[in-house]
Amino acid sequence: MLKSKTLLVLGFVWPEPKSSAAGNRMLQLIELFRAENYEITFASTAQNLEFSEDVSALGVIPKTIELNSATFDAFVKELNPTIVLFDRFMVEEQFGWRVSENCPNALKILDTEDLHCLRQARQLAVKENREFTLDDLFSDVAKREIASILRCDLSLMVSELEMELLQNQFRISKDILYYLPIFAEKLKKIPTYEERKDFVFIGNFLHEPNWDCVKYLSEVIWPLVHLRMPEAKLLVYGAYPSQKVLQLHKPKQNFYIMGRADDAQEVVQKAKVVLAPIRFGAGIKGKLLEAMQCGTPSVTSSIGAEAMAGNLDWNGFVKDTPNDFAEAAILLYQEDTLWKQSQENGFEILEKRYNKAFFEKDFNLEINSLLKNLKHHRNSNFIGSILQHHLVSSTKYMSKWIEEKNKN
């Protein structure tokens, strides 16, 4: 009798697809493996929050696990998964060595979400009010993240630019990198230009680039727009707004902090233009993908649009200075012909770059090929084996020390 295929997902958090692109991404990965008849367990050390997805409703077994505990060793050994999927490199650091010790034949996949070292390097440059340079990449975070990528058999990337960066700057072999973007398609019912009003921003405020973006909108961009369009409103939506976010609520300037959206797509569909002057970040921007799905043109920065449209025209404007950004926002809001062409550009980007049908078959072939040739694949990534050896030697004993300490 053939052993059933099992997937263990080790989640950084429980997925919240209505709060973040990362949550949506995780559910898409689960669906890919469900379609291939994998038995799936989703395990996390995080608290299952009010807006977390009920993964059991998807046929996925939920499991709460502990850090620095031998209970995980017993759990993973008994489960004996075919594949282990790590949700971000921090989770691989915590559990990768335990997986390798107890299930050495399990295929280890890292879902990067975005390149953390790139996002944090850009954030530091903004904080220090200077231009980002490639030298900023070589940080302690990069050392941890690159080591994690090397220890895994395959790392999933949502950005072609980040794949190139890993290969060119860090000399990572393309054999352990795989491009798999977030899937998206045009919604069936799209309101017309005439049926819409207001500017909108939407984003999870636990994600630092979103807070910075809204602060920048409030202090720099919106005053320029408001001066020219005093009747226009900007509605800011996002899960988990902190007090500092709520303090930006300025009804007299038509700048409204709206909090969590019950239905993000409904909010974006009603708006005329999405504003996202993102100053630092990495990966694919879920809010901009969602804008395209909703037929809502956007104005964003070069970092916001990075790697998203390929050689296709953006669904609106990409501007990096405050005056240019504000001018583009006003133009896009007021010119219906330009607005409608921008909307069509977004639909074309979705169809040509984010269509699930383009990726599903090839992804399954890649996974099956790795499962059949895992020993050879790992021998080709010997640096990864060395890093695995040294991580086990250091992290293992630190973890066991914490485990013993916790018993007292």
pLDDT in tens, 336-349: 999 999 999 999 99
Q: Are 362 and 336 found together in one domain? A: no
- For 23, the token pair is 């949550």
Segment 17-45, tens digit of pLDDT: 887 888 899 999 999 999 999 999 999 99
Helices (H), 69-174: 70-79, 89-102, 116-127, 140-151, 160-169
Q: Are 109 and 46 found together in one domain? A: yes
Q: What is the mean pLDDT of residues 374-395?
A: 79
- The residue out of 321, 338, 354 marking a domain boundary is 354
SS3 content of the chain, % helix, strand, coil (to 5): 50, 15, 35
Segment 252-298, tens digit of pLDDT: 999 999 999 989 999 999 999 999 999 999 999 999 999 999 999 99
Residue 329 lies in a domain: yes
Contact 72, 44 (CB under 8 A): no
Residue 190 lies in a domain: no
Q: Are 227 and 103 found together in one domain? A: no
Q: Are 346 and 320 found together in one domain? A: yes
Residue 206 lies in a domain: yes
Segment 71-109, tens digit of pLDDT: 999 999 999 999 999 999 999 999 999 999 999 999 999
Contact 385, 378 (CB under 8 A): yes
Q: Are 221 and 332 found together in one domain? A: yes
Q: Are 228 and 344 found together in one domain? A: yes
Q: Are 38 and 137 found together in one domain? A: yes
C-alpha span between 385 and 96 (Å, rounded): 12
Residue 193 lies in a domain: no
Residue 250 lies in a domain: yes
Tell whether the model's pLDDT for residue 3 goes beyond 70. Answer: no
Neighbours of 323 (CB within 10 A): 11
> Is 0.85 topped by the overall pTM?
yes
Q: Are 159 and 203 found together in one domain? A: no
Q: Name the residue range of residue 297's domain.
A: 199-354
Q: Are 307 and 371 found together in one domain? A: no
- For 134, the token pair is 């490639």
Of residues 305, 132, 282, 128, the one with CA closest to residue 208: 282
CA distances from 206 to 11, 19, 93, 284 (A): 16, 10, 22, 17
Q: Are 289 and 397 found together in one domain? A: no
Tell whether the model's pLDDT for residue 137 goes beyond 90. Answer: yes
Look up the CATH number of the domain holding residue 293: 3.40.50.2000
Q: Considering its fold, how many domains does the chain have in total?
A: 2
Residue 20 lies in a domain: yes
Q: Are 56 and 145 found together in one domain? A: yes
| pLDDT at 1 (0 to 100) | 43
Q: Kindly provide the b/e burial profile for residues 267-279, where b requires at least 16 CB atoms within 10 angstroms of the residue's own CB.
A: bbbbbbbbbbbbb
Q: Are 164 and 209 found together in one domain? A: no
Pairing verdict, β 273-276 and 199-202 = parallel
Residue 192 lies in a domain: no
Residue 52 lies in a domain: yes
